[in-house]
Amino acid sequence: ATQNTDAYTEVSAALKVCMMNMSKIANDLRLMASGPRVGLAEIMLPARQPGSSIMPGKVNPVMPEVINQIAFQVIGNDHTICLASEAGQLELNVMEPVLVFNLLQSISIMNNGFRAFTDNCLKGIEANEDRLKEYVEKSVGIITAVNPHIGYEAAARVAKEAIATGQSVRELCVKNGVLSQEDLELILDPFEMTHPGIAGATLLKKN
């Protein structure tokens, strides 16, 4: 037993921060995999159990939920470690047993959890390409890629009409004669829209 147990507390705090971030990632995966019809369904998680007991055929995100629960435990362990660290008196801290127990438990469950999460979830994630393409095509937000090519006012009109009618930005640009289908294929290409710079910048250079 020692006067101060700062080192243990600092290690536990680092583990807690790590698990907070891992839990956030797990929450992202749960949201992105929600569905299959009324959720996002952007990705498909591996099915690791027979399914939901109340909803036949549903794939529960059990591995991300494991990470969430490990995070809850590690955060709780960290609080216990903090209390044990501050409970010492003068030159002695007799609370080290519970401190070390919780610290070792955090390390152990994180090690096991990360291995299981990698093998049983991360390695098997698949992108739902059809759903993602549909989202991009139906998004009004892609008007930002079109904006440099047709100007703000024209882009705003297309966006408002898309919202009002339910038609896609692509359809309305062609219909209103502001851009050709060929130009839109380049501008609205996902790589162009996610690459630094202006989507379809080569068209501006030609003009």
How far, CA to CA in Å, does 203 sit from each of 56, 105, 106, 179, 185?
Answer: 51, 59, 55, 11, 12
Closest Cα partner for 187 from 153, 144, 157? 144
Mention every residue, 6+ apart, whose C-beta is less than 8 A from residue 51.
57, 58, 59, 60
Axis-axis angle for helices 62-86, 6-32 (nearest 10):
160
CB atoms near residue 184 (< 10 Å): 21
Active-site annotation holder among 52, 106, 108, 168: 52
- Residue 108 appears among annotated catalytic residues: no
Mention every residue, 6+ apart, whose C-beta is less than 8 A from residue 68.
23, 26, 27
Place of tokens 């202006």: 198
Give the CA diameter of the chain: 82
- Active site residues per annotation: 52
